[in-house]
Amino acid sequence: MLNHRLINAPKKPKKFVPVAIEFLNRHAKNKKVFCALSGGVDSSATYLLLKEAKINTIPVFIDHGLMRIIRGKEEREYIQKLFPDVRVIDIREPFLPKIYGEEDAENKRKLFKAAYSEIISKVIREENCDLLADGTILPDIEESFGVKITDLKETMSLDEEKELMEKHIEGFVKSQHNVEIEYDVEATIQPVASLTKHEVRRMLEYFHMPQELIYRKAFPGPALSARIIGPVTEENLVFEKKVHDLIESLVEHFYYEKHGKTMIINKDGEQEPFQVFAAIGEDILNKKVTGLADGKRIYEKPTSERGDWNYNLLIEKASNIEGYSRILYELGSKIEGKYDVIIRSINSKDARTATVTNLPLELLNKLKEELLRIPGTKFVYFDVTPKPPATIEYV
C-alpha cells in the first residue's frame, strides 16, 4: 500500500486548492474513497477537497462516546449539520466498557487505534473502497515520525515509511491514533499533509465554511480520555464533558465579545487560543502527567502555586521547571468535591510549541466560580506551563 501526500505545495488557499484537486484527480479519480470525518478542521478540509474534486467519497464519523459537548450539543450533531451526508457509526456500547478503568496513557491511545481500525476496516470491506483519506497534517507527521515533510516522497510504500520511522525513532513524541494502521486499500491519501493548522483554517475560510468550524479547537485522537487523568469512568466522563463545555464556551464567548471571533492571530503570529479545555482527575498533584524533556515524552507529577497572580513570573518559573512536569496555579477550592479541574488555554502556530494564553484574572475568577458551582468540583487550577517543557495534553 502506498501513501500519497502533497509535498511542497503552495500554502495560500487560492493556489493550494487547484494543486490539491489535481493531486486527488491524479490518484483518486474513478475510485471509491473512505474518509474519516471527525468534525475537526483537518478532516473537514480533507473531505471538502474530495468533494471539490468530485471524488466518490464515503464520509464516516465514528461516535465512541468520548467526544466533547459543545454548547450543550454532542459533537456529532454539529457534524451532521455541517455535512448532512456524513454516516454516523455509533460504537459506544462495545467501546466504552473497554476504555472504562484504563489509566495508562499509551494504552488509551492503543484502544482508540484498535476501535478506529476495526470500524474503518469494516466499512472499507463492505463498501469495496479503493482508497482511504485522512486529515493528517504537518505537525502530525513531524511528531509521530520525527521527520520533516521534505524527507518524504509524494508516493511511498509502507516499507519505505517504516524504514524512515526506524531511522528517526529518537524524534518520536507520541503515537497518533491514525498512523501505523494498515487497511485493505490501494493507498492512503493525505491531501493536507503539507499544511499547518492555521493554513488549514485559511482553506476553510476559502470554502466559506461557518466560523464555528473554522475556529473549532483542535481535539486529540484519544478524545476526552486524553483529558481525564487516571482511569476513565462513566461518572468522570460525564463530569469532564460538563466542565469542558463550560470552559471552552466561556473563553470563546470572551474572545467573541472582544474581537468578534473566537480565535485571533496574536502579535507573535500564534492562533490565540489554539486550544482551550478542561482536564480533570482526583488528587491531581499526586498523579503523573506528561511533560517534555529533550524532545521526548516524560511522566512526572505536577506542582502547584498559589498567592498573588503574576502571569509573567509564573510563566518564567514554569518554563524552567525541574523535577515536575508542569506548574498549576491554584485559583480556588471547596471542602466537598471529588474532582480537580485544570483550565488549559494555549496559543500556538502549529502545536509543536505553545505559549500559555494570558487570560485576564477577571475571566479566570469567573471560570473558577462557575466550576465550583458544579457538584463534584474540588480544586480549580490554571496550567501556566508552556510547551515545552509541558505537552499540551495530559496523557
- How do residues 94-120 score in pLDDT, each as one tens digit? 999 999 998 887 888 899 999 999 999
pLDDT over threshold 60, residue 175: no
Report strand pairing: 69-70 vs 73-74: antiparallel
Residue pair 97/51 in contact by the 8 Å Cβ criterion: no
C-alpha cell at 47: 473531505
CA 52 to chain CA mean position, Å: 25
CA dist 366 → 56, 69, 118, 248 (Å): 48, 20, 43, 13
At 179 the pLDDT is 45
* Fold of the domain built from segment(s) 217-383: GMP Synthetase; Chain A, domain 3 (3.30.300)
pLDDT at residue 254, rounded to an integer: 98
- Is the pLDDT at 149 greater than 80? The verdict is no
**What pLDDT is attached to residue 178?**
44
pLDDT, average across residues 326-350: 96
pLDDT for residue 173 is more than 90: no
Question: Do 2-201 and 217-383 agree at the fold level?
Answer: no
- pLDDT mean over 122-142: 89
Mean pLDDT taken over the chain:
89
> Is the per-residue pLDDT at 265 higher than 50?
yes
Whether the per-residue pLDDT at 235 is higher than 60: the answer is yes
Whole-number pLDDT of residue 153: 58
Sign of CA pseudo-dihedral 147, 151, 154, 157: negative
Q: Shortest CA distance to 8 belongs to which of 150, 137, 173?
A: 150
Widest CA span in the chain: 64
Supply the pLDDT for residue 172.
39
Q: Specify the pLDDT at position 310.
A: 97
Number of other CB atoms surrounding residue 250 within 10 Å: 16
Residue type, 175: S
Q: Assess contact for 243 and 318: CB atoms under 8 A.
A: no
Cβ distance 292 to 388 under 8 Å? yes
pLDDT band at 147 (very low <50, low <70, confident <90, very high): low
| Cβ 288 vs Cβ 326: under 8 Å | no
Q: Which of 67, 101, 105, 102 is nearest to 291 (CA)?
A: 105
pLDDT grade for 180, boundaries at 50, 70 and 90: low
Confidence band (pLDDT; 50, 70, 90) for 1?
A: low
CATH of segment(s) 2-201? 3.40.50.620
For residue 337, is pLDDT > 60? yes
pLDDT at position 38: 87
Q: Which three cell numbers stand for residue 55?
A: 471524488
Query: What is the C-alpha to C-alpha distance for residues 104 and 348, in angstroms, rounded to an integer?
Result: 27
The span from the CA of 375 to the CA of 94, in Å, is: 29
Please enumerate in sequence order all residues whose Cβ is within 8 A of that of 250, keeping only pairs 6 or more positions apart, or say none: 363, 366, 367, 370
Domain boundaries, the chain: 2-201, 217-383
Band of the pLDDT at 248, cuts 50, 70, 90? very high
Rounded to 5 degrees, φ, ψ at 260 are 80, 5
Q: ∠ CA(225), CA(227), CA(231), 5° rounding?
A: 50
pLDDT on residue 264 = 95
Q: Name the pTM for this structure.
A: 0.86
Instruction: Give per-residue pLDDT as tens, 45-71.
Output: 999 999 999 999 999 999 999 999 888
| 74 C-beta neighbours (distance < 10 Å), count | 15
- Preceding amide of 273 cis, omega within 30: yes
Q: What's the confidence (pLDDT) of residue 148?
A: 63
pLDDT higher for 213 or 162? 213
More confident residue, 31 or 212: 31
237-241 long-range contacts, Cβ below 8 Å, gap at least 24? 237/65, 237/66, 239/280, 239/339, 239/374, 239/376, 240/278, 240/280, 241/68, 241/69
Please, which residues have CB within 8 angstroms of residue 354's CB and are 6 or more apart in sequence? Answer: 274, 275, 346, 347, 348, 386, 387, 392
List Cβ neighbours of 21 (8 Å cut-off, separation of 6 or more): 49, 52, 53
Where residue 183 falls among pLDDT bands split at 50, 70, 90? confident
Q: Please state which of the ranges 21-30, 164-173, 265-274 shows the lowest mean pLDDT.
A: 164-173
Q: What is the pLDDT of residue 296?
A: 82
Confidence (pLDDT) at 171:
42
Looking at residue 157, its pLDDT comes to 57
pLDDT digits (tens, 9 = 90+) for 73-92: 888 888 899 999 999 999 99
**Grid coordinates in use for 285?**
498533584
Residue 156 has pLDDT above 60, yes or no: no
CB 105 within 8 A of CB 140: no
Q: Beta strand pairing status for 303-305 and 327-333?
A: parallel
Q: For 311-325, what is the mean pLDDT?
A: 96
